[in-house]
Structures are given as C-alpha cells and as structure tokens.
Amino acid sequence: MSASGTAAAGQVEHMLRQVTPGRYDAYEALLRALATPGSGQVWMLLWHGQAGAADAQYGSMQVDGYGYAPCVTSAQELSASGWNRSFEVVDGLEIARALYPDHYGLWLNPHAPGGGVGIPWLDLRRIAIGLDRQPAGPLRLSEPAIEIPQFYALLTQNAHRTPAVRSLRRAWVQPALGAPYLAIGLDVYDTSPAAVDTVRAMMQQSIGAVPDGLPVSTVAMSDAYDPVALWLRANARPFYDREAHAAPAQTPATGYGYPPAPGRP
C-alpha cells in the first residue's frame, strides 16, 4: 500500500476513535473522511469469491433488524480481525454508492473492542450524493408548529398556477447538527427540465413571504430514499392537492373514503 493510502487509513481510523455516543460532530468528521475520493478507503470482507470476480459477495450482518456489510479500516485491522477469506480495498465513496440503494449500511471494525461503528444506509446515501446536500441524521421530524399562513396561501396560489405540481406537503426538520428548517415536499406530474424550471420559479415567487431567518428547503416526493420524503408520505397530508381541489364535492355512499377493492364495484 502506498504512503498516501497509509495516511488515508490513518485518518479514517483516527476519526473512528473519536466517535462516541452523542458525538455527532465526530461522527460527521468520520463520514467526511470516508467520503474523500481516493483517501477514504476500507477493506471490504468478502464472504464468497475473490476481489474483482463476478461472483464476489460482501459479508453481511444484521443489527437491530438492519443490514450492514462489515469492513475493516486498514491492513493492520484486517490482521487483528482474524479474517481468513478474501477482501477488497474500496473507496468509501464507491462502497457507499454500491450499498445504499439496497438499504445496506457499512460496519467499521466489528471485531474491535466495543463492536466498532455502524454507518446506516441513509448516511451512506449522504456520502454518495454529497454530505452538504443532505441534513445530518438522525432527524427529528414533525408537523410544523410555526404559523406562516401568508407563505402557505401564496405558495398554494402559485402551485395552482403551475401545472406540473400535483400536491404539496410540509414538515419541520431538526437535524442532529445544524439549524432546524421547514421542508416542502413537492409531488409533481412532470420532471422534464422545463417543468422543473416552472416549479423552481413557483418557489422563488413564494419565498418572499417567509419570515426572515426561517430556512426553507424542498424535497422531491418521488425520491424513494430521502428520509424527509419517506416521512412526508407516511405522516403528512397535503396542504395543497390539485386533484382533490378539482374533484366534485360529493362523498361516496359506501367505502369510508377507500377506493373499491380490485374486482369489486
């Protein structure tokens, strides 16, 4: 291994040693070390096959019902682990991109005293798409308590004039690090560049009604991996819904609001 590789492993291991319960700043520093292209390397433990082979399979472990792929952070830790099968040295950025779509996390040095440190798939996604583009977890999400009716009214009016918008939802997001903010979930019919431009213009036309100092962000409801979008789909009713607005004002005689089951009238 090159001198630069040794330094990279040392940086990841140094950050790993700083991580303790509640030290979200140290955990974020570990994520940054892993996300640095060409320097955040890990030694992935292969349960089957050889490095680079088509049939190679990473190891797997379950912790609290969630899946993780185990790895070690240096050749020295590999020796200390007693692993006697094959392994593969991979950039942290590369392994993050490979694991998170399957909802798999990464577990660093599971052989170490204390059991090492697990990185959930949501944080691997942050590494894959850019740590600065997503809030630091774990997130606390709730219905917004702040009263800003002028903003919601203007946003609803502008959404109704923007044909690409199907519905809007909202959440109050409190990251583990950083300021809380209002998230607006955008559910759209059309994701073409022209349609995206109209939705961006809708937000720009509405944001002036937000009180000074209140951060506002948007999230695509179509994102199957974003934790805010997942929470919104499960917990938040739209405050603007084009289809409900256009539907006739009548209530079905039966069904308690549910659509008919397939094959039934």
Query: DSSP readout, 80-142?
Result: HHT--S-EEEEEHHHHHHHHGGGTEEEEE-TTSTT--EEE-HHHHHHHHH-GGGSPPSSPEEE
Whether 207 has a pLDDT exceeding 80, the answer reads: yes
Give the C-alpha separation, 98 to 78, whole Å.
Answer: 21
Domain range enclosing 117 = 3-133
Residues in the chain: 265
Is 159 found in the same domain as 107? no
Q: 255 in a domain, yes or no? A: no
Q: pTM of this prediction?
A: 0.77
Average pLDDT over every residue of 142-155: 95
Q: 261 in a domain, yes or no? A: no
Tell me: the pLDDT tens digits for 240-263? 999 886 655 444 433 333 344 444
Q: 214 in a domain, yes or no? A: yes
Tell me: the pLDDT tens digits for 11-64? 788 889 899 888 889 999 999 999 988 778 899 999 987 877 788 889 999 999
pLDDT on residue 247: 54
Which of 91, 114, 133 represents a domain boundary (last residue)? 133
Is 145 found in the same domain as 126? no
Which of 133, 157, 176 represents a domain boundary (last residue)? 133
Are residues 78 and 142 in contact, defined by beta-carbon separation less than 8 angstroms?
no
Give the C-alpha separation, 246 to 244, whole Å.
Answer: 5
Is 119 found in the same domain as 161? no
Total domains, the chain: 2
